[in-house]
């Protein structure tokens, strides 16, 4: 039980730190009035996509390196 709790705590801490960095970036753009709406929209869209992927079990691919490499190759540009 403690292992699950600590894993969740670390993951949430990482998300909070990443979101804090995004906010600092967007606030800097807003102060300079440089594409702040586009940047905020991009960050919001990326957050939605990544959090949704995490909720639907993307971690199920991690134990299978061949499947992961194939999906990563397909998703890359």
Q: Which tens digits make up the pLDDT trace of 26-40?
A: 888 888 988 878 888
Q: What is the mean pLDDT of the chain?
A: 77
φ, ψ (nearest 5 deg) of residue 63? -70, -10
More confident residue, 65 or 32: 32
Q: Residue ranges of the alpha helices (H) in the chain?
A: 2-32, 36-55, 65-75
Tell me what pLDDT residue 19 has: 72
Residues 30 and 36 sit within 8 Å (Cβ to Cβ): yes
**Domain enclosing residue 63, as ranges:** 2-75
Cα separation, 65 vs 68, in Å, equals 5
Single out the residue of 32, 62, 28 nearest to residue 43, CA to CA: 28
Indicate the pTM of the whole model: 0.50
- Which tokens in the block code for residue 28? 């800097």
Query: Number of folded domains in the chain?
Result: 1
């Amino acid at each position: 039980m403690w292992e699950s709790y600590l894993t969740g705590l670390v993951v949430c801490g990482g998300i909070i730190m990443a979101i804090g960095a995004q906010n600092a970036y967007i606030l800097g753009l807003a102060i300079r009035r440089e594409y702040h709406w586009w940047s905020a929209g991009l960050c919001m869209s990326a957050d939605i996509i990544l959090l949704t992927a995490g909720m639907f079990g993307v971690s199920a691919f991690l134990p299978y390196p061949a499947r992961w490499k194939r999906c990563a190759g397909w998703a890359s540009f």
